[in-house]
């Protein structure tokens, strides 16, 4: 048992080492990298991604997938732009878009659980539908006249420091998800469902309800992401966060969450986000062209799953098999 | 008595074959009815829709999507996905167009380059999925960005313009054979080839078998790894063909050629009644699914609707299609359950 406990940290340890390597590489690539303020500021690049990845993680642990999250974000930014134009105060607009986000999310969940549809097909459809909806609401012209109160979260820094306000929010969200996933009954039920939905059903867990809640939560996280997005980019348009699916899934999978469900850790996903962020930051500072960065991200996604798989096939050493299980597993014994 | 029926689902009862056949017919009929309803709707709302010329335009626009959707369907039938199909089309299409621009005298044998490139890219996907044991969504999501990135690097910010392409390429795509666009003929030929392969060739049948139940296929003695690998190579080859045709059609070939097509192709597959869980579906349905998407595009343009309504309606169509599919499936299962209970009582 003790051994297993230490092994379960392996994947996170490896991520940590990779982050250090990426940071060293970045420092090598660019003289501007090694500055505390620079690094802190660069975290803004993955905060939106991170907040949404937290929501997606719970869905993946449940053994489902949601590729419509980025489109939900677009709907929320566009709705925010309408509210801002109408002069609605932010404290009123915020609950409304979070509600809209969770409504869009639970619509996915209801279709998936109620009609037992495959999550990928449903969210593929709603990905297009929500994206279209965002364009229909906001038309093709972008909106840039956001009120300062709307922009505050995404654009401000903690007074006197270089810490972005949104980073604090991200840390709070990550901590909340840590409690939810690893320290609450709900989280435990998610792992049970992800490992074996039949067992979950027979032991009286209301599987549909939990799944719908997870999808609603992911939608709400997309709405929070929209709030940060508006502040960071100061614009809202139907194609906001287009193409965010790849980095989202990469972050979750690289973080050690099993795409087939049942395993995963919040810490792993946070570390994976840091890794992706560090790589992106370093390569950006080194003026590496965008396509190269995309290739690196894609390769990272493939290798992070392929390597443990190959090693497992080659040898049956226990130390290697821990890479496969990658943390957060529910002990079988 | 266990029979693998035309839609690939293995039924274990004597009546199962007829029922599953019926379901298949229902499913393809369902898509067809949807297509006809769409046509009626657009005919009533616009004056220019119901014309032979417009039908030709729709078929022309749908042709390349039909090929891409066939490619995607082969992989989906094995219970896998190919999200890199757009990037494969882009890379194969761009490199081929670039090769043609550098070698002006080249003839139609150029197609072979596109096919081989597509097959190679498909092989990489297949190796990752079948021997690397990667979940297909991760493997192809990764290769999607890798292939697209390679296209960018290969192109070095350049593009291939229509004047650089050999004239036969551009003329060939626009050519008419007996009043039918040549692209449509290629698409029909591809559908016939893939349909024949999937429904009659032994290897094609094993694709359904692996998709319905990989474990059972393995124990039956099928080399599931090789079959999945083959499916990916086949898919890549067809994607290479589609990329080549698309490059010839647009004339000006850029690095973003066919980006986003993985979603459109997958949409056509799902609307066409192929189960995303593999093992069931029909290529003719997929072709009709692609036609549905092209018809929606065309009709909305004629109605003067903004382009972004297309996304909304396409997305809704996908959700509707899977819903209808699952309802039919549920009904069939209910019938089977009833029969089994009856049998036990007797």
CATH number of the domain to which B238 belongs:
1.10.3470
Mean predicted confidence (pLDDT) in B42-66? 84
Pick from B148, B311, B326: CB nearest A294: B148
Domains held by chain B: number: 1
Residue B127: DSSP 8-state = I
- Domain assignment present for residue B108? The answer is yes
Pick from A131, A139, A259: CB nearest B311: A131
CATH of the domain at A138: 1.10.3470
Q: Give the domain extent around B232.
A: 30-38+53-325
Cβ contact, residue pair B311, A135, below 8 Å: yes
What does the pLDDT look like over B60-115, one tens digit per residue?
888 999 999 999 999 999 988 898 999 999 999 999 998 888 887 777 888 899 99
- Domain assignment present for residue B162? The answer is yes
Percentage of chain A beyond pLDDT 70 is 90
Which residues of B are less than 8 Å from A109 in CB distance?
none
Using only C-alpha atoms, chain A has a radius of gyration, in whole angstroms, of: 20
Task: For A41-80, give the DSSP string.
Answer: HHTHHHHHHHHHHHHHHHHHHTT-----HHHHHHHHHHHH
- Domain assignment present for residue A333? The answer is no
Mean predicted confidence (pLDDT) in B152-170? 83
Task: For A235-289, give the DSSP string.
Answer: -B-TTTTTT-HHHHHHHHHHTT--TTSS---HHHHHHHHHHHHHHHHHHHHTT--
Distance from CA of B39 to the nearest CA of A (A): 21
Give the span between the Cα atoms of A68 and A218, in whole angstroms. Answer: 10
- Domain assignment present for residue B184? The answer is yes
Look at residue A66 in the predicted model and tell me its pLDDT. Answer: 92
Mean predicted confidence (pLDDT) in A240-247? 82
Give the span between the Cα atoms of A225 and B215, in whole angstroms. Answer: 41
- Domain assignment present for residue B7? The answer is no
Instruction: Give me the residues paired with residue B4 across strands.
Output: B10
What does the pLDDT look like over A188-211, one tens digit per residue?
999 999 998 889 999 989 999 999
Does this model's pTM top 0.95? My answer is no
Give the span between the Cα atoms of B45 and B299, in whole angstroms. Answer: 9
In three-state form (DSSP H/G/I as H, E/B as E, the rest C), the secondary structure along A105-123 is HHHHHHHHHHCCCCHHHHH
Cβ contact, residue pair B141, A249, below 8 Å: yes
Nearest to B192 by CA among B62, B66, B57: B66
Residue B314 pLDDT level (bands cut at 50, 70, 90): confident
Instruction: Please tell me whether residue B251 adopts helix, strand or coil conformation.
Output: coil
Using only C-alpha atoms, chain B has a radius of gyration, in whole angstroms, of: 21
What does the pLDDT look like over B258-292, one tens digit per residue?
877 888 898 899 888 888 887 888 898 899 999 99
Tokens standing for residue B236: 């890549």
- Over 80: is that where the pLDDT of A212 sits? yes
Residue with tokens 């989202």: A248
- Domain assignment present for residue B18? The answer is no
Residue B180: DSSP 8-state = E
Phi, psi of A79 (to 5 degrees): -65, -40
What does the pLDDT look like over A44-61, one tens digit per residue?
888 999 999 999 999 999
Give the span between the Cα atoms of A61 and A79, in whole angstroms. Answer: 30
Phi, psi of B10 (to 5 degrees): -90, 120
Cβ contact, residue pair A140, B153, below 8 Å: no
Chain A's closest residue to B149, CA to CA, is A291
Distance from CA of A35 to the nearest CA of B (A): 30
Tokens standing for residue B229: 């690998």
Look at residue B23 in the predicted model and tell me its pLDDT. Answer: 62
Q: Are A63 and A262 in contact (CB under 8 A)?
A: yes
Question: How many CB atoms neighbour CB A140 within 10 A?
Answer: 11
Q: What are the respective helix, strand and coil percentages of chain B, to the nearest 5?
A: 75, 5, 20
Domains held by chain A: number: 1
Q: Are B267 and B290 in contact (CB under 8 A)?
A: no
Give the span between the Cα atoms of B84 and A51, in whole angstroms. Answer: 27
- Domain assignment present for residue B336? The answer is no
Give the span between the Cα atoms of B252 and A196, in whole angstroms. Answer: 51
Q: The complex's ipTM? A: 0.79
Residue B345 pLDDT level (bands cut at 50, 70, 90): very low
Out of A231-240, A307-316, B251-260, least confident range: A307-316
- Domain assignment present for residue B186? The answer is yes
Which residues of B are less than 8 Å from A124 in CB distance?
263, 266-267, 270, 315, 318
- Domain assignment present for residue A134? The answer is yes
How many contacts (CB atoms, under 8 Å) link A and B? 147
Cβ contact, residue pair A301, B141, below 8 Å: yes
Cβ contact, residue pair B314, A306, below 8 Å: no
Give the span between the Cα atoms of B291 and B32, in whole angstroms. Answer: 10
Q: Give the domain extent around A183.
A: 2-325
Residue A88: DSSP 8-state = -
- Domain assignment present for residue B341? The answer is no
Pick from B134, B146, B330: CB nearest A295: B146
């Amino acid at each position: 048992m003790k051994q297993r406990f230490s092994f379960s940290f392996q994947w996170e340890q490896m991520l940590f080492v990779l982050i250090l390597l990426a940071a060293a590489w970045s420092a090598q690539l660019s003289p501007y990298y090694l500055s505390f303020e620079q690094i802190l500021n660069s975290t803004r690049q993955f905060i939106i991604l991170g907040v949404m990845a937290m929501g997606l993680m719970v869905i993946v642990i449940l053994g489902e997938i949601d590729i419509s999250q980025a489109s939900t974000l677009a709907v929320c930014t566009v709705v925010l732009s309408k509210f801002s134009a109408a002069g609605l105060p932010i404290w009123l607009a915020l609950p409304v878009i979070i509600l809209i986000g969770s409504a869009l999310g639970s619509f996915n969940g209801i279709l998936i659980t109620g009609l037992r549809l495959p999550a990928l097909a449903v969210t593929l459809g709603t990905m297009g539908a929500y994206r279209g909806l965002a364009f229909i609401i906001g038309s093709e012209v972008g909106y840039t006249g956001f009120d300062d109160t709307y922009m505050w979260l995404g654009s401000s820094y903690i007074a006197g420091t270089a810490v972005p306000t949104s980073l604090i929010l991200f840390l709070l969200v990550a901590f909340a998800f840590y409690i939810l996933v690893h320290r609450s009954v709900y989280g435990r039920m998610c792992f049970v469902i992800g490992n074996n939905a039949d067992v979950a059903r027979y032991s009286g867990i209301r599987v549909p309800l939990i799944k719908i809640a997870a999808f609603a939560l992911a939608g709400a996280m997309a709405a929070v992401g929209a709030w940060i997005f508006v502040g960071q980019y100061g614009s809202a348009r139907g194609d906001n966060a287009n193409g965010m699916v790849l980095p989202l899934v990469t972050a979750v999978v690289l973080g050690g969450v099993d795409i087939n469900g049942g395993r995963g850790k919040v810490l792993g996903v946070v570390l994976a986000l840091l890794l992706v962020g560090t790589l992106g930051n370093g390569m950006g500072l080194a003026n590496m062209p965008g396509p190269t960065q995309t290739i690196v991200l894609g390769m990272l996604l493939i290798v992070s799953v392929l390597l443990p798989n190959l090693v497992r096939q080659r040898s049956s050493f226990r130390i290697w098999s821990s890479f496969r299980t990658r943390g957060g597993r529910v002990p079988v014994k | 008595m266990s029979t693998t029926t035309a839609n690939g689902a293995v039924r274990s009862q004597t009546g199962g074959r007829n029922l599953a056949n019926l379901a298949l017919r229902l499913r393809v009929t369902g898509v067809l009815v949807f297509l006809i309803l769409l046509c009626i709707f657009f005919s009533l709302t616009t004056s220019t829709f119901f014309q032979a010329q417009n039908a030709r335009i729709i078929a022309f626009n749908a042709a390349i999507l039909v090929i891409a959707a066939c490619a995607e369907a082969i992989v989906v039938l094995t219970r896998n996905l190919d999200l890199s199909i757009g990037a494969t089309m882009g890379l194969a299409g761009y490199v081929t167009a670039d090769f043609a621009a550098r070698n002006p005298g080249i003839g139609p044998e150029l197609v072979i380059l596109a096919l081989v490139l597509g097959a190679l890219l498909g092989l990489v996907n297949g190796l990752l999925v079948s021997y690397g044991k990667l979940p297909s969504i991760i493997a192809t999501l990764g290769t999607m960005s890798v292939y697209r990135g390679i296209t960018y690097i290969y192109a070095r910010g350049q593009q291939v313009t229509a004047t650089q392409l050999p004239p036969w390429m551009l003329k060939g795509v626009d050519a008419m054979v007996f009043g039918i666009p040549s692209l449509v003929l290629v698409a029909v030929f591809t559908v016939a080839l893939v349909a024949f392969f999937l429904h009659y060739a032994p290897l094609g049948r094993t694709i359904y078998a692996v998709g319905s139940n990989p474990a059972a296929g393995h124990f039956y003695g099928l080399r599931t790894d090789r079959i999945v690998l083959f499916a990916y190579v086949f898919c890549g080859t067809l994607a290479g063909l589609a990329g080549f045709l698309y490059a010839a059609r647009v004339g000006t070939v850029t690095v973003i050629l066919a980006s986003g097509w993985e979603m459109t192709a997958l949409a056509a597959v799902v609307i066409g009644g192929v189960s995303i869980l593999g093992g069931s579906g029909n290529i003719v349905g997929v072709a009709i699914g692609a036609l549905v998407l092209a018809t929606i595009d065309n009709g909305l343009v004629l109605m003067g609707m903004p382009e972004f309504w297309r996304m909304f309606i396409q997305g809704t169509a996908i959700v509707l299609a899977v819903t209808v599919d699952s309802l039919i499936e549920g009904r069939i299962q209910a019938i089977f359950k009833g029969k089994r209970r009856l049998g036990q009582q007797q």
